[in-house]
Amino acid sequence: MRAGGSAERMAKAGRDMQKTLPSAAASAGTIVEGGHEGDGKPGKGGGKQGPVGSALGVFARQWNEDLEYISRRAASSLLGAHLATKEYVEGDLKMAASRNRDAINGIVPDMPGGNGAGGGGEK
């Protein structure tokens, strides 16, 4: 299933980024003594960061929000497609069963374009 494979690759990309961004931010260092505290917002706890680390924190927060939105939409779309397909199959089976009952009972449907005069209805 292509959609499932795409969802797995997107989830892996998210996990990989969550692992590597903190290391990248810590390795970036600071320009001035003190830098910023936390994940890109001055005054938050979590260690000192320079401007690159701070920018990576802001990027990660926004990217995470976007990724969560995309994953919710993808899951909703896949569920909707599954349910629609299930209803289609069930409806098709109901229609086939109805036609079989009609055939067993000797009901002949009117032919299309015959203005109701071609099939004659019940025998």
Buried b (16+ CB within 10 A) or exposed e, 62-90: ebeeebeeeeeeeeeeeeeeeeeeeeeee
pTM of the model: 0.47
Assign 43 a pLDDT band (cuts: 50, 70, 90). very low
| Each residue's pLDDT tens digit, 56-85 | 888 888 888 888 888 888 888 888 888 899
Residue 24 CA, chain-centre distance (Å), reads 29
The tokens of 52 are what?
């690159």
CA distances from 115 to 81, 87, 111 (A): 37, 31, 8
d(CA 32, CA 118): 91
The residues facing 122 across adjacent strands are: 107
Higher pLDDT, 12 or 30: 12
